[in-house]
Amino acid sequence: MPVPAVRLNHSKTCYTWAVIRGLGYASRQWCSRPRATRTMMSKSQFVLVFLLTSWGFAFELKAQSPTYRSVNSADLLGGYILNGEWIEATGHVWFSDKGVFFNFNLPSARVPMLVDVANVDPENIRRLKSTCGSPDQFSGGCRATIRGQVGRLDHRQGILMQDQGILARDIQIIPRR
């Protein structure tokens, strides 16, 4: 004689599962749907949602402004600061027809560092040009704080420079006393 098949009551199993997990009233609505429409998220759907969420967080972190580390200008000019670091340094800056330059102070005999101002606000560049314009470091310029990233800059003709330079994001002129 054949053994009668035992039918499981899926609704009862569903309600028990939902109560154990504390889903309450929402579980009744979910369990009352046909079994085929109650499926949970598949692994591939979960992975896709996880990757999209992670990707969004990664872009959000990149959009934040960098944290600048205050460094001694002598360490910066001496090459002791690694490329890629976000720094803030105060020193003597001048704007000439060959570019923007940074040095420890006005009478310094140290070779100056080139400053790339492509990412600086145009208003700050105009102010820097009018206040700190000079053919060389000894006949003009001004004290300023530069915020940016240390990195390798392209060599320009006629300028004997170090490999390192400052990719400036902001330059603030310090008023004379």
Do residues 33 and 83 both lie within one domain?
no
CA 51 from chain centre, in angstroms, equals 20
Do residues 140 and 73 both lie within one domain?
yes
The verdict on residue 108 lying in a domain is yes
Q: In the prediction, which pLDDT does 79 show? A: 82
Give the range of the structural domain holding residue 84, as residue numbers without chain letter: 69-173
Q: In the prediction, which pLDDT does 8 show? A: 47
Do residues 111 and 160 both lie within one domain?
yes
Q: How far apart are CA 96 and CA 133, in angstroms?
A: 6
Do residues 56 and 98 both lie within one domain?
no
- At 5-55, the pLDDT tens digits run 544 445 555 556 555 655 555 555 556 666 555 555 566 776 777 776 776
Q: In the prediction, which pLDDT does 170 show? A: 93
Do residues 153 and 77 both lie within one domain?
yes
Do residues 119 and 75 both lie within one domain?
yes
Q: In the prediction, which pLDDT does 111 show? A: 83
Q: In the prediction, which pLDDT does 6 show? A: 47
Do residues 14 and 33 both lie within one domain?
yes
Tell which residue, 160, 148, 170, has the closest CA to residue 76. Answer: 148
Residuewise pLDDT in 10s, the chain (177 residues): 565 554 444 555 555 655 565 555 555 555 666 655 555 556 677 677 777 677 666 665 555 678 899 998 888 888 888 888 999 999 999 998 888 989 888 777 788 888 999 899 999 999 999 998 988 777 888 999 999 999 887 655 444 445 688 899 999 999 887
The verdict on residue 1 lying in a domain is no
Number of domains in the chain: 2
